[in-house]
């Protein structure tokens, strides 16, 4: 069927979808680099990280489907939801930009996910804890890769430095959303499902701040802008990436290979 | 009441032996047992269950490995078999056998060192050459340089040896 699935949103489901959709959408964005990387090695590196993220998304969406109660599987959740039912922060849906933007976003997200996985490894949800125990190892490599490049480009040529500073100006407005606590986070913290994302903010600032300082990059001043992807209200870019992701399943329902 | 296979140690042992011959499709120098991804083999008297753990979350070889296990156990005449996935405890390269490490080196892949228990806490802001001294699997020189953090698969990175001038892959500790 091409009809969209409708979800019954519990805080538990939304918490899992935020994690799963962050991995899914960033994985899709990194996959866009396949065949377009600045050099072959980085093309392959980005594709490998996209694979890790898609693998994590598959496990998380499978788990989300189990908790939702109507046995939606990972594919239905990935391809048959309407835009409002995706709960990734807006940052990950922004267009891939240039390589400077890509590695900076990877640093921001990989650091966040690494810190979340560390705490989620002791989740009261045993399956989520198992997913986190594996994902944290992968996120460490993603973070290290991104940090290396952020420093290299920020502390590089005038051109790479200028592009790095421009990328930082573009993405920094979307960072506050990551750490905005709400009822979904409070419920997860209360039940032991997982931490509030805000709980890792101090560690995130320390780690990302150290990399930016080494790169000689200065974050822009805080802005009043707040993105709202985690609540399902996305940017204009989300419809396009979903159209590309969903086209096959919508045109050929249940298609497999 | 007759006809059903009976659980016995021989059948389980034979299954383990068969799994020593099933190769990883991405790193065909290693068997699944060398790689340390076979967590258990259970015989309930009727069906064999092979419990595997994934290496990386997104490893594209997972489905191929499952099918290879089913094919190999079936071909060995060990009856019906089921493959299940167990995510925890998470796989680590520390589970690669000593024999597996030797096979990797012979195959031209530098084996992983022990996993650093504090890995990932600090971000190492160091140059490519200073990152780690990985010995060249061909000439054993430690004068090597990392070219890329990710190789042909997520589990490997790409190096070159400054002594013998050959490129090689390194199986990353995970």
The answer to whether B120 contacts A140, with C-beta atoms less than 8 Å apart, is yes
User: Which carries the bigger pLDDT value, residue A181 or residue A17?
Assistant: A17
Q: Residue B59: its pLDDT value, please?
A: 86
Strand partners, A193: none
Q: What is the mean pLDDT of residues A240-254?
A: 93
**What does the DSSP assignment read for chain A?**
--SPP-----HHHHHHHHHHHHHHHHHHHHHTTTTT-SSHHHHHHHHHHHHHHHHHHHHHHHHHHHHHSS---HHHHHHS--GGG----GGGGS---SHHHHHHHHHHHHHHHHHHHHHHTT-SSHHHHHHHHHHHHHHHHHHHHHHHHHHHHHTS-HHHHHHHHHHHHHHGGGSGGGG---HHHHHHHHHTS---GGGGHHHHHHHHHHHHHHHT--PPPP-S---BGGGTB--THHHHHHHHHHHHHHHSTT---
The answer to whether B150 contacts A48, with C-beta atoms less than 8 Å apart, is yes
- Chain A residue closest to B89 (CA)? A130
Task: Specify whether the CB–CB gap between A52 and B57 falls below 8 A.
Answer: yes
Task: Evaluate whether residue A4 is within a structural domain.
Answer: no
- B132–A contact, CB cutoff 8 A: no
Q: What is the mean pLDDT of chain A?
A: 96
Q: Residue B120: its pLDDT value, please?
A: 52
The answer to whether A41 contacts B148, with C-beta atoms less than 8 Å apart, is yes
Q: Residue B1: its pLDDT value, please?
A: 40
Which pLDDT band holds residue A256 (cuts at 50, 70, 90)? confident
Q: Residue B129: its pLDDT value, please?
A: 45
Q: Is the pLDDT of residue A242 over 80?
A: yes
Please report residues of A whose CB lies closer than 8 A to that of B89: 133
The alpha carbon of residue A77 is apart from the nearest alpha carbon of chain B, in Å, by: 18
- A48–B contact, CB cutoff 8 A: yes
- B154–A contact, CB cutoff 8 A: yes
CATH class of the region B9-91 = alpha beta
Q: Residue B131: its pLDDT value, please?
A: 56
The answer to whether B119 contacts A45, with C-beta atoms less than 8 Å apart, is no
Q: Residue B128: its pLDDT value, please?
A: 46
Task: Specify whether the CB–CB gap between B25 and B65 falls below 8 A.
Answer: yes
Interface confidence: ipTM more than 0.95? no
Dist CA B18 CA B1 (whole Å) = 29
Residues of chain B with pLDDT under 50: 1-3, 121, 128-130
Q: What is the mean pLDDT of residues A136-161?
A: 96
B60, B119, B174 member nearest A51 (Cβ): B60
Give the number of domains in chain A: 1
Cα-flanking dihedrals φ and ψ of residue B27, to 5°? -130, 75
Task: Specify whether the CB–CB gap between A110 and A148 falls below 8 A.
Answer: no
A48, A131, A143 member nearest B87 (Cβ): A131
The alpha carbon of residue B7 is apart from the nearest alpha carbon of chain A, in Å, by: 30
Please report residues of A whose CB lies closer than 8 A to that of B148: 41-42, 44-45
* CATH classification at residue A112: 1.20.1260.10
Task: Evaluate whether residue A67 is within a structural domain.
Answer: yes
Q: Residue B125: its pLDDT value, please?
A: 60
Q: Residue B3: its pLDDT value, please?
A: 47
- Among A39, A144, A150, most B C-beta atoms within 10 A, so best to mutate, is A144
Q: Residue B119: its pLDDT value, please?
A: 59
Q: How far is CA A39 from CA A11, A52, A58, A176, B147, in A?
A: 42, 20, 29, 32, 11
Dist CA A78 CA A64 (whole Å) = 11
- Among B56, B92, B94, most A C-beta atoms within 10 A, so best to mutate, is B56
By the 10 Å C-beta count (0-12 exposed, 13-18 middle, 19+ buried), A113 is classed as: buried
Q: What is the residue range of A181's domain? A: 11-217+229-251
For A124-148, write each residue's pLDDT tens digit: 999 999 999 999 999 999 999 999 9
Domain edges within chain B: 9-91, 97-171
For A86-128, write each residue's pLDDT tens digit: 999 999 999 999 999 999 999 999 999 999 999 999 999 999 9
Dist CA A171 CA A149 (whole Å) = 16
Task: Evaluate whether residue A224 is within a structural domain.
Answer: no
- Among B123, B129, B146, most A C-beta atoms within 10 A, so best to mutate, is B123
Task: Evaluate whether residue A222 is within a structural domain.
Answer: no
Q: What is the pTM of this model?
A: 0.93
Strand, coil or helix: what is B34?
Answer: helix
Task: Evaluate whether residue A187 is within a structural domain.
Answer: yes
The alpha carbon of residue A62 is apart from the nearest alpha carbon of chain B, in Å, by: 13
Q: Is the pLDDT of residue A236 over 90?
A: yes
Q: Residue B151: its pLDDT value, please?
A: 86
Residue reference for tokens 């002594």: B163
Task: Specify whether the CB–CB gap between A44 and B151 falls below 8 A.
Answer: yes
Q: Residue B2: its pLDDT value, please?
A: 43
Please give the sequence-ordered ranges of beta strands (E in DSSP) within B21-166, or none if there are none: 38-43, 48-52, 81-85, 109-110, 144-148, 156-161
B58, B90, B123 member nearest A137 (Cβ): B90
């Amino acid at each position: 069927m091409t009809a969209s699935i409708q979800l019954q949103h519990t805080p538990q489901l939304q918490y899992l979808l935020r994690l799963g959709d962050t991995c899914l959408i960033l994985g899709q964005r990194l996959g866009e680099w396949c065949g377009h990387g600045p050099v072959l090695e980085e093309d392959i590196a980005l594709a490998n990280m996209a694979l890790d993220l898609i693998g994590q998304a598959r496990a998380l969406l499978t788990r989300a489907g189990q908790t939702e109660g109507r046995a939606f599987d990972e594919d239905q959740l990935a391809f048959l939801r309407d835009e409002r039912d995706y709960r990734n922060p807006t940052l990950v849906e922004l267009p891939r930009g240039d390589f400077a933007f890509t590695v900076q976003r990877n640093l921001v997200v990989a650091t966040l996910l690494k810190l979340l996985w560390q705490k989620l490894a002791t989740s009261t949800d045993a399956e989520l804890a198992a997913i986190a125990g594996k994902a944290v190892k992968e996120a460490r490599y993603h973070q290290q890769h991104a940090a290396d490049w952020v420093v290299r480009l920020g502390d590089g040529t005038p051109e790479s430095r200028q592009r790095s500073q421009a990328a930082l100006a573009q993405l920094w407005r979307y960072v506050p959303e990551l750490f905005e606590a709400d009822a979904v986070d409070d419920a997860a913290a209360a039940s032991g499902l997982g931490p509030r994302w805000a709980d890792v903010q101090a560690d995130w600032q320390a780690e990302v701040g150290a990399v930016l300082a080494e790169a000689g990059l200065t974050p822009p001043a805080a802005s009043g802008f707040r993105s709202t992807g985690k609540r399902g209200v996305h940017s204009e870019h989300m419809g396009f990436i979903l159209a590309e992701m969903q086209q096959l399943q919508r045109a050929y329902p249940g298609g497999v290979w | 009441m007759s006809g059903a296979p009976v659980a016995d140690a021989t059948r389980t042992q034979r299954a383990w032996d068969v799994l020593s011959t099933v190769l990883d499709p991405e790193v065909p120098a290693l068997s699944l047992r060398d790689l340390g991804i076979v967590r258990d083999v259970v015989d309930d008297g009727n069906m064999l269950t092979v419990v595997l753990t994934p290496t990386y979350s997104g490893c594209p070889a997972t489905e191929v490995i499952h099918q290879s296990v089913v094919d190999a156990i079936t071909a060995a005449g060990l009856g019906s078999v089921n493959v299940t996935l167990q995510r925890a405890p998470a796989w680590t390269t520390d589970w690669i056998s000593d024999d597996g490490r030797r096979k990797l080196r012979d195959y031209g892949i530098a084996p992983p060192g022990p996993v650093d228990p504090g890995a990932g806490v600090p971000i190492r802001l160091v140059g490519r050459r200073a990152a780690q001294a990985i010995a060249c699997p061909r000439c054993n020189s430690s004068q090597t340089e990392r070219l890329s953090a990710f190789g042909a698969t997520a589990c490997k990175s790409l190096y070159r040896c400054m002594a013998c001038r050959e490129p090689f892959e390194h199986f990353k500790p995970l």
